[in-house]
């Protein structure tokens, strides 16, 4: 029996049955056969149980074929390997990594952008494991990706796959970087040209020196590479023509990208060379400046061991003589020569000042030049005995830190005064003003 209370309009009988006409539900009178009412012939989309879209991940196709994006990704990995001319073994490894990473739970649901970058990261990891020198920057360029995204995905991938990929050292990168410089006789004038081999050799020595002088650790590798190649090029034939070339012009000539950081590295490297060059015996007392040092680079590099020893000795002597006399009485450095002219000259002044102001508690200006020591307020002048010949620039030019207030001892359970809390609450007048102002602002915004 169908719904109770339904009467057939034709014969008035109460015997109404549910009868389907093919797929159309109908209510029919059992006595006279009149159709009382009928339902819809077709169902709506939401009522359909069969024939709806099934998500790819729920279908059985997942087991038969890898998803389209994975296939595309593998092709991308292969293409990049071909571009970089990697060996077959490395290509296989990179593909394996990519497959593993793609199916890893932390990567299966990420955006397509990240999956594209993942391909590059796998290749990067493979290159590092096989000591093939390539920078992350190069990979980022090839993928045309965001460098930050590259970094994030790379670190996630290494963690997820638990692989160990030691970072490439700067010196390994030098040779490949050097190849990019177009300085052969067919590209530039004969006087300005230089063979890649000689350039690499000289630049390698300069780079080693820079690394030992703390100019490389913690910094971007490419600017220091550019700087060492530039100085190597200048010093291999220090003619006036070459010396007149600035870094920017050199990069333009060699068809290499300019960098805003490389000039700073050039300056730092020249300072290091000056410190060593000062010890050359045939200078006979004349000053070694960054301008004149380039001509002497050849000699400096040839005898760098001896020069280092001598520089250390004179540095020790300078420190010893400094500490003998109380710093407050010293205005100028004792010796005529100092290994760190820029450092010591400025150090002597605050030395004298700070000694006269022992109560200057947390003023860190004097400690700024003192190699960035962060201990403050002791009133004691930090002695230069800790200063070595070479120091990382972040120590030499330490940031001036905000004055640190001494940490108050609290128990955490003290009484909280009402007045203090009331100072954080608005008065009724303020509240009214605030509400009015907000209304005025929102109404003026609505007008636009």
Partner 1 sequence: MEQNNSLPPFQGLASPQGALTPVMPMFSPMMPYGSGLTPQPVTNTNSLSLLEEQQRQQQQHGMPGGSGQTPQLYHSQTVTTTTLPGNTPLYNTTPLTPMTPITPATPASESSGIVPQLQNIVSTVNLGCKLDLKTIALRARNAEYNPKRFAAVIMRIREPRTTALIFSSGKMVCTGAKSEEQSRLAARKYARVVQKLGFPAKFLDFKIQNMVGSCDVKFPIRLEGLVLTHQQFSSYEPELFPGLIYRMIKPRIVLLIFVSGKVVLTGAKVRGEIYEAFENIYPILKGFRKTT
* Footprint on residues 344-373 left by partner 1 (CB under 8 A): 372-373
Looking at 163-171, 244-252, 284-292, 356-364, which segment touches partner 1 (CB under 8 A)?
163-171
CA 243 to mean position of chain CA atoms: 34
- Residue among 93, 228, 348, 367 that touches partner 1 (CB under 8 A): 93
Q: Say whether 364 sits in a helix, a strand or coil.
A: coil
Based on the number of CB atoms within 10 Å of its own CB, is 121 exposed (0-12), middle (13-18) or buried (19 or more)? buried
The CA-CA-CA angle for residues 201, 131, 233, to 5°, reads 20
- Nearer to partner 1 by Cβ, of 26 and 100: the residue is 100
- Find the shortest distance in angstroms from Cβ 39 to partner 1: 47
User: CB within 8 A of 165, min separation 6: which ones?
Assistant: 124, 125, 128, 129, 158
Length of the chain: 448
Residue 96 interacts with partner 1 (CB under 8 A): yes or no: yes
- Residue among 142, 149, 151, 292 that touches partner 1 (CB under 8 A): 151
- Find the shortest distance in angstroms from Cβ 110 to partner 1: 19
Give the whole-angstrom CA distance, residue 448 versus residue 63: 56
Give the whole-angstrom CA distance, residue 191 versus residue 254: 14
Which of the residues 115 through 144 are near partner 1 (CB under 8 A)? 129, 135-137
- Find the shortest distance in angstroms from Cβ 138 to partner 1: 10
Ramachandran quadrant class, 56 (left: phi over 0; alpha: psi -120 to 50; beta: rest)? alpha
Give the whole-angstrom CA distance, residue 417 versus residue 338: 60
Looking at 160-168, 277-285, 350-358, 361-369, which segment touches partner 1 (CB under 8 A)?
160-168
Helix (H) or strand (E) holding 416: none
**Nearest by Cα to 170 from 112, 118, 214:** 214
Give the whole-angstrom CA distance, residue 405 versus residue 384: 27
Looking at 21-29, 104-112, 318-326, 349-357, which segment touches partner 1 (CB under 8 A)?
318-326
- Nearer to partner 1 by Cβ, of 277 and 372: the residue is 372
- Find the shortest distance in angstroms from Cβ 375 to partner 1: 6
Residue 105 interacts with partner 1 (CB under 8 A): yes or no: no
**Nearest by Cα to 123 from 147, 150, 160:** 150
Residue 108 interacts with partner 1 (CB under 8 A): yes or no: no
CA 62 to mean position of chain CA atoms: 37
Tokens of 338: 């100092």
- Nearer to partner 1 by Cβ, of 47 and 324: the residue is 324
- Nearer to partner 1 by Cβ, of 41 and 320: the residue is 320
- Find the shortest distance in angstroms from Cβ 126 to partner 1: 10
Could you tell me whether strands 24-29 and 16-21 are parallel, antiparallel, or unpaired per DSSP bridges? Answer: antiparallel
Which of the residues 190 through 209 are near partner 1 (CB under 8 A)? 208
List, in sequence order, every residue forming a beta bridge with 8; answer none if it has no partner. Answer: none
Looking at 40-48, 69-77, 344-352, 430-438, which segment touches partner 1 (CB under 8 A)?
430-438
- Find the shortest distance in angstroms from Cβ 68 to partner 1: 24
Give the whole-angstrom CA distance, residue 289 versus residue 278: 9
One symbol per residue from 259 to 298: x for binding partner 1 (CB under 8 A), - otherwise; what is it? Answer: ----------------------------------------
Q: Count Cβ atoms below 10 Å from residue 12 Cβ, excluding itself.
A: 10
Residue 445 interacts with partner 1 (CB under 8 A): yes or no: no
Number of residues that bind partner 1 (CB under 8 A): 80
Contact criterion met (CB below 8 Å) for 339 and 275: yes
Give the whole-angstrom CA distance, residue 338 versus residue 389: 10
Which of the residues 383 through 422 are near partner 1 (CB under 8 A)? 383, 385-386, 388-392, 394-395, 398, 407-414, 416, 420-422
Residue 187 interacts with partner 1 (CB under 8 A): yes or no: no
**Nearest by Cα to 342 from 271, 399, 403:** 271
Residue 23 interacts with partner 1 (CB under 8 A): yes or no: no
- Residue among 196, 220, 295, 360 that touches partner 1 (CB under 8 A): 220
One symbol per residue from 26 to 65: x for binding partner 1 (CB under 8 A), - otherwise; what is it? Answer: ----------------------------------------
Residue 378 interacts with partner 1 (CB under 8 A): yes or no: yes
């Amino acid at each position: 029996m169908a719904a109770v209370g339904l009467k057939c309009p034709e014969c008035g009988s109460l015997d109404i049955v549910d009868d389907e006409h093919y797929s159309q539900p109908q209510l029919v009178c059992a006595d006279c056969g009149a159709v009382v009412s009928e339902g819809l012939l077709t169902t709506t989309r939401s009522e359909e149980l069969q024939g709806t879209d099934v998500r790819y991940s729920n279908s059985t196709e997942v087991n038969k074929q890898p998803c389209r994006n994975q296939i595309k990704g593998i092709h991308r990995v292969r293409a990049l390997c071909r571009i970089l001319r990697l060996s077959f073994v490395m290509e296989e490894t990179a593909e394996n990594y990519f497959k593993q990473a793609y199916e890893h739970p932390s990567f299966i649901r990420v955006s397509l952008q990240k999956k594209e970058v993942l391909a590059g990261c796998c290749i990067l990891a493979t290159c590092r494991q096989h000591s093939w020198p390539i920078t992350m920057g190069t990979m980022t360029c090839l993928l045309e990706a965001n460098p930050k995204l590259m970094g994030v995905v790379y670190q996630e991938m290494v963690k997820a796959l638990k692989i160990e990929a030691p970072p490439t050292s700067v010196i390994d990168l030098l040779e490949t970087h050097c190849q990019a410089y177009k300085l052969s006789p067919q590209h530039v004038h004969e006087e300005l040209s230089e063979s890649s081999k000689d350039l690499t050799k000289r630049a390698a020595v300069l780079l080693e020196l820079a690394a030992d002088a703390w100019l490389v650790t913690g910094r971007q590798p490419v600017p220091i590479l550019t700087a060492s190649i530039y100085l190597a090029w200048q010093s291999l034939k220090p003619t006036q023509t070459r010396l007149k070339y600035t870094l920017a012009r050199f990069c333009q000539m060699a068809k290499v990208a300019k960098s805003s950081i490389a000039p700073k590295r050039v300056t730092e490297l020249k300072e290091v060379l000056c410190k060593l060059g000062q010890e050359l015996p045939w200078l006979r007392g004349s000053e070694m400046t960054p301008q004149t040092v380039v001509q002497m680079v050849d000699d400096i590099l040839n005898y760098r061991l001896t020069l280092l020893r001598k520089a250390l000795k004179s540095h020790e002597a300078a420190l010893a003589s400094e500490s003998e006399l109380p710093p407050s009485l010293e205005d100028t450095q004792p010796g005529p020569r100092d290994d760190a002219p820029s450092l010591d000259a400025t150090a002597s002044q605050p030395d004298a000042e700070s000694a006269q102001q022992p109560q200057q508690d947390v003023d860190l200006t004097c400690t700024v030049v003192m190699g960035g020591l962060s201990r403050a307020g002791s009133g004691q002048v930090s002695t230069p005995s800790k200063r070595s010949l070479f120091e990382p620039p972040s120590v030499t030019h330490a940031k001036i830190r905000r004055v640190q207030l001494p940490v108050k001892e609290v128990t955490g359970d003290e009484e909280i005064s009402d007045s203090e809390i009331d100072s954080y609450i608005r008065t009724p007048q303020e509240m009214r003003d605030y509400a009015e102002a907000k209304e005025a602002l929102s109404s003026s915004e609505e007008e636009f």
